[in-house]
Amino acid sequence: MSHDDLPALLTVPRAAKLLGISRASAYRYADAGELPVKRFGSRIYIVTAKIRYLLDGSEGQAA
């Protein structure tokens, strides 16, 4: 699956796998505000559009 085919929101474990970091680290980064999150009740999702630069390995950050 290409990064263009990813859903708008990723579960934290799936985002961690794509980013090559541990699940625990992804939750820490999300909690610290270093990964952009959207919360639905007790569930936390990573906003794909805002981490695309990390997934693509490009410089700079998404707006």
Q: Say how far apart CA 35 and CA 49 lie, in whole Å.
A: 11
Going by CATH, does the domain composed of 3-56 fall within 1.10.287?
A: no
Give the per-residue pLDDT at 54.
84
Structural tokens at position 61: 């950050």
Q: What is the pLDDT of residues 31-46, one digit of tens each?
A: 999 999 999 999 999 9
**Residue in 27, 31, 26 with CA at minimum distance from that of residue 54:** 26
Question: Which residue ranges make up each domain of the chain?
Answer: 3-56
Q: Determine the pLDDT at residue 13.
A: 97
pLDDT along the chain (63 residues), means of 10: 82 96 97 96 95 73 45
Of 43, 55, 42, 53, whose CA–CA distance to 15 is shortest? 55
